[in-house]
Amino acid sequence: MSEITRAIIPVAGLGTRFLPATKAQPKEMLTVVDKPVIQYIVEEAAASGIKDIIFITSHNKRAIEDHFDRNFELEYRLTKANKKALLKEVKAITKLANFIYIRQKSPRGWGDAILAARHLLGDNPFAYFSGDDIIHSKKPAMAQLIKVYKKYGDGVIGVHRFPKKDIMSYGVIEPIRLEDRVYQIKDIVEKPKPAKAPSLLGVTGRYIFTPDIFTALKKTPLDSKGELVGTDAIKLLLKTKPFYACEYEGEFYDCGNKLEYLKAQVRLGLTHPDLKRELKTFLKKFVA
């Protein structure tokens, strides 16, 4: 079984839900405490054994490329100021993975983003990360998915158990339980009403795909918006082969959603060694 060492992260979206903050900067570069959202995702990938990260990007996302590249002037100034810890931290960002950038020719959905990287992936399995979602966990969420893939040998989707009132915001799996937190997927229902949801397990931007996904994507028609939706290709694959779900251990934050983004700020701020004590005191005082 091939090791999973490559990942796709789409970052071509306009980030309209965060305007005007995203008018001149990529939404993926919005910071949570002291790191941009995209860095948390890349760090999870690297901690899961991913060596090569393929960003599917667009013309206005140059800041992402710059963030993961060397900045020699900054490094020089940090060296002269004897700020060794900051220098080490800045240099470490560039060493997280090998970074590859492909421009998506037009905004045609995340299925099209996968096809854009087809020539770099060969006949190997690969990971796919949403560019908005932070998963805070002791063991990286993608590493948990890879463990399931190694056992069952087919595609895996990361899922999170949501309150019933929130489930209509997500694709929801119809699960067949195989073991603790592992399921075979019978179907995926997009944004069902709570009363009709097949479970409370929502899809949350972490996937492992086998090369079969490319064939399925080419057979999948565009939706009403002219986009190639990856979920439609997965539903097509379910007719001929198994697909699995891993209910990973961890806290999920959709940082493309303003409220979830604020929750991530607070939660990750409370884990920051330099901030957690004063932030906790402030929050207690503010709530009181």
Is residue 18 a part of any domain in this protein?
yes
Tokens read off for 194: 């709570």
Sign of CA dihedral 248, 194, 228, 57: negative
Between the alpha carbon of residue 97 and those of residues 8, 67, 268, the distances in Å are 12, 13, 23
Identify which of 187, 151, 205 has the alpha carbon closest to the alpha carbon of residue 38: 205
Residue 114 forms part of a structural domain = yes
Percent of the chain with pLDDT over 90: 83
Percentage of the chain with pLDDT > 70? 99
Q: Quick one: tokens of 31?
A: 């910071």
Q: Which of 34-38, 221-225, 246-250 has the lowest mean pLDDT?
A: 221-225
Smallest CA-to-CA distance from 199 within 214, 183, 217, 223 is with: 183
How many domains is the chain built from?
Answer: 1
Residue range 40-65: mean pLDDT, rounded? 95
- How confident is residue 226, by pLDDT bands cut at 50, 70 and 90? confident
CATH code (residue 199): 3.90.550.10
8 A C-beta contact, residue 111 and residue 228: yes
Q: Which of 135, 113, 139, 136 is nearest to 126 (CA)?
A: 113
Assigned domain for 68 exists: yes
The per-residue pLDDT for 1 is 67
Q: Which domain holds residue 84?
A: 6-287
Give tens-digit pLDDT for 86-106: 999 999 999 999 999 999 877
Residues found in the chain: 288
Determine, yes or no, domain membership for 221.
yes
Residue 1 domain-assigned (yes or no)? no
